Chains A and B, each alone.
Chain A
Amino acid sequence: MAKILIVEDDILIARMYQKIFESEGNKVFIAQDGQAGLDMARTLLPTVILLDIMMPKLNGMQMLEELERDPKISGIPVVVLTNLSGTNDAERALSLGAIKYIVKSEHKPKEVYEIVKEILIGYTRNDIPLI
């Protein structure tokens, strides 16, 4: 069972992904802004973070920068899950350490789950312990 942290200000979207990941046997936590996401990442040490970009307090890009600065949590894989579809946004997120950039409207929840599952398989095989 993986521990998933969803950082998403739109609660309907957050619950939608929570449903799919929980129904596949994972433990899901939700943070509704970047600051709360950062705090929860430090205390929960999730297996993966699903991160939105446009959020109050600390946006997704800022949160990526903060994650990168803290060695305790910098190794947690981050999948950006946003509706910003610009190439520049994707490039910036990836340069800040995100391992995947997914445009929400282009993928059904099940597809998002499959992508994250593949990433987790790759990661857990190497260095991220399953919690």
Chain B
Amino acid sequence: MDSSISVISSITLLYTIMVWILILLFKKNSESRIRQDVFLQNIGDGVIALDKKLTITLFNKAATILTGYSSREAIGKPFQQIIKLLNEKNQSENITFIGEPLFFGKTSRIINNILLITKSKSKLPIGVTSAPIVGTNGNIAGAIMVFRDNSQERELTRIKDEFISLASHELRTPMTAITGYTDMMLEGRYGPVTTELREPLKYIETSTDRLIRLVDDLLNVSRIETGHIKYSLENIDLKAIITQVLSQLRPIAEQKKIKLQLKTNRKNLVQADPEKVEQILNNLIGNAIKFTDKGHVTISFSKVRDLGVIKVSDTGIGISSKDQKKLFRKFQQISSSAGRPAGTGLGLFLSRQMAREMGGDVYLVKSKPKHGSIFALSLPTGY
């Protein structure tokens, strides 16, 4: 009897302990759950969770402020009914970012050019990060999205662009006067110029032209980054543009005793903006001349599938593999044994961006220190 009482007591004690453990575990779990809930509700960015059927399961405070929908209106509703995103560039609806986490288990991030259409139909610039919710069994259970209001950043960018635009205008005006007066003095419009004066006047003119180019490049970077450059695509003959660029650069090449060769004799038609192409070629051929001390710069044209490719090869100083990685970044200049070359370090960055906007590219084909480099500009032929 005593032994049976002792067994029952032991079992009761064991159950009591288990229940306590469960209560404690539950309490701990619900505390952490409450804590998680508080975090999610009060986080500054909009947080929205979906299940696999695209039904909204979580909609925090910031999400209600961003979208204009209350959590009661949103939870349980299909995601597409509440969240409407618009691609700012082509005005198309953008829901691909949900597919990535839900179907491929990948995190997707869209920072720029996305507008959220709110309940009141206003458009809000936002950034979205979406990630898969992976269950304990390893299966994708849904997706969680974080929406960030980009209005302030957008406003700052607008102020920055306005400042750059105004500053570049204000800087250009005195520089135009300096370079203009110097040029007129060199032409003798203010009286004869002595041989001794001619050289320093030339230096003033060259330096001011360099400053103007720097200001222009800075302005162009700002415009490119904000998509404010317009492209008028038309069918153009590259040979005519190359010939024009070569005639502009020939005096510099002749001064350095570098031979300029054009290896094409037929029309090379592409679809592009002629002004931008001239700017890119000016940069590529100008660089080739700048970094070549003897030998030649050769321009050739070929057609690769639906692209017209212009190659600019030189017998110059070449680029080390370490420097090749930095070539297309902003403000990067390749150092040479002859010292730091004149330039803004923006030319190749701008050229590549412009070429890509026109459906082509600017890239380094190959380069070897002390042997020279080959750069290429590709543009769609458009037919």
- Give residues in A with beta carbon < 8 Å to B: 10, 12-13, 16, 19-20, 23, 54, 83-88, 104-105, 108-110
Q: Which residues of B contact A109 (CB under 8 A)?
A: 180, 183-184
Q: Nearest Cβ in chain B — how far from A100, in angstroms? A: 15
- Asked whether, in the complex, the Cβ of B175 is within 8 Å of the Cβ of A105, the reply is yes
Q: How far is the CB of B100 from chain A (nearest CB, A)?
A: 36
- Is the CB of B97 closer than 8 A to any CB of chain A? no
Q: Contacts A105-B172, A105-B176 known; A23 to B189 CB distance under 8 Å?
A: yes
B interface residues with partner A (beta carbon < 8 Å): 165, 168-169, 172-177, 179-181, 183-184, 187, 189-190, 212, 215-216, 219, 223, 228-230
**Nearest Cβ in chain A — how far from B214, in angstroms?**
11
Asked whether, in the complex, the Cβ of A13 is within 8 Å of the Cβ of B177, the reply is yes
Nearest-Cβ distance from residue A47 to partner chain B, whole angstroms: 22
Q: How far is the CB of B183 from chain A (nearest CB, A)?
A: 5
Secondary structure of the A side of the interface? helix
Among B176, B181, B189, chain A packs the most CB atoms within 10 A around the CB of B176
Q: Is the CB–CB distance between B181 and A16 below 8 Å?
A: yes
Inter-chain contacts of B173 with A (CB < 8 A): 10, 13, 83, 104
> In the complex, A44→B229 CA distance in Å?
39
Shortest beta-carbon distance, B179 to chain A, in Å?
7
Query: What are 9 contact pairs spanning A and B, CB under 8 A?
Result: A12-B177, A13-B173, A83-B169, A83-B176, A104-B173, A105-B176, A105-B179, A108-B183, A110-B187
CA A98 to CA B229, docked complex, whole Å: 22
Q: Could you say which residues of chain B place their CB within 8 Å of the CB of A10?
A: 173, 177
Q: How far is the CA of A54 from the CA of B168 in the complex (A)?
A: 13
